[in-house]
Amino acid sequence: MQVVSISSLKGGVGKTSVTLGLASAALAAGIRTLVIDLDPHADATTGLGVRADGQLDIGRMLKHARKARLAANVLPSGWVENARADGGTAVLDVAIGSAFAGIYDRPDLGRRDLRRLVTLLNNSANSAGSSAGNYQLVLIDCPPSLNGLTRIAWTASNRVLLVAEPALFSVAGTQRTLRALELFRAEFAPALTAAGIVANRVRSGSNEHTYRLAEMKTMFGPLLLSPTIPEQANWQQIQGAAHPIHQWPGESAKNASGLFDQLLSGLLAQGSVRNRVRR
Ligand SMILES: Nc1ncnc2c1ncn2[C@@H]1O[C@H](COP(=O)(O)OP(=O)(O)OP(=O)(O)O)[C@@H](O)[C@H]1O
């Protein structure tokens, strides 16, 4: 099972959009996937068309990590209907976000608390007859800070995928996030690696974006992933319909789906040898 946190300490750069794009690519590829919405704003939950019906949200599952059963509380994404109707075998489940993640928002959690998601995933994998143990991929949409929830996500992950815009504050923030990741890894999660940096909202005709992308290449080297994701004029409108990007109409959506297919296969192909994080 690959567990990937999608992170940035800066908000609004496209973490949720990249999570949803990768989830859509995973669904199209028939990869059994769980999306964990750890951002209390719960945008991934909204974008996946999920509504709770008595299930525990992820904040409560973390609170009762030893006893909570992931399988009993994840919801099939509204997207799955379509995949099943197409005869696909893919499954996309969602552990829904929580508006009040309570104490897990704190930056100073102890080691035991940091392992709550590890416990939850392990219990689910070990419980007899549980389908939750069969996920091939877990994508965690993290909050835009280094709070307790992000640290819980990183502790449970093999890899952290960073999202950035080719803009001054975002590039500087990405450098800081990489440093934080390096420190976190040294102290808490020696096996954790950086999966790379996805540049999102790239405007091809913009001199500023061209300059910042070149700067990112110099700064981050191979950690800057290819392809980049372009700015899409109708992105918000289409996201509002809560459909996987692979089912969006139009040429630009088709192109974007192809980009997420490439990003996903690169992510899955990455060996664990990679990634001394560069400062
Ligand atoms: N490639 C893109 N083209 C156009 N709009 C985009 C693109 N990526 C993201 N957006 C839009 O930018 C806004 C922020 O994106 P998103 O919610 O994915 O960012 P985030 O990093 O998860 O935000 P937060 O920090 O609030 O969790 C959304 O309205 C989204 O629709």
Cα(126)–Cα(260) distance, integer angstroms: 31
Match domain 2-269 to its CATH number in 3.40.50.300, 3.40.50.970, 3.40.50.880, 3.40.50.720.
3.40.50.300
* Residue with CA nearest ligand 1 atom 26: 12
User: What does the domain layout of the chain look like in residue ranges?
Assistant: 2-269
Is 17 a pocket residue for ligand 1 (Cβ < 6 Å)? yes
Predicted confidence at residue 82, as pLDDT, reads: 63
Q: Which of 235, 238, 245, 259 most suits a substitution to test ligand 1, by most atoms within 8 Å of the C-beta?
A: 235
Cα(111)–Cα(121) distance, integer angstroms: 17
Predicted confidence at residue 273, as pLDDT, reads: 37
Q: What is the dihedral of CA 21, 150, 156, 228, to 10 degrees?
A: 30
Predicted confidence at residue 126, as pLDDT, reads: 65
Does the pTM exceed 0.90? yes
The crossing angle, in degrees rounded to 10, of helices 168-188 and 207-220 is 20
Q: Which of 6, 8, 16, 163 most suits a substitution to test ligand 1, by most atoms within 8 Å of the C-beta?
A: 16
Residue with tokens 């923030």: 173
Q: Is the ipTM of this complex over 0.85?
A: yes
Q: Residue 163 phi/psi, 5° resolution?
A: -120, 135
- Ordered per-residue pLDDT tens for the chain, 279 residues: 899 999 999 999 999 999 999 999 999 999 999 999 999 889 999 999 888 888 899 998 999 898 888 888 999 888 876 666 555 567 789 999 987 777 788 888 899 999 999 999 988 776 655 555 578 999 999 999 999 999 999 999 999 999 999 999 999 999 999 999 999 999 999 999 999 999 999 998 999 999 999 999 999 999 999 999 999 888 877 777 788 888 888 888 889 999 999 999 999 998 433 443 333
Predicted confidence at residue 237, as pLDDT, reads: 78
Predicted confidence at residue 83, as pLDDT, reads: 62
Backbone dihedral region of 102: left (phi > 0), alpha (psi from -120 to 50 degrees) or beta?
left
Cα(19)–Cα(86) distance, integer angstroms: 22
CA 43 to ligand 1: nearest atom: 17
Q: What are the strands of the beta sheet with 137-141, ordered from one edge? A: 75-76, 92-95, 33-37, 137-141, 2-7, 159-164, 193-199
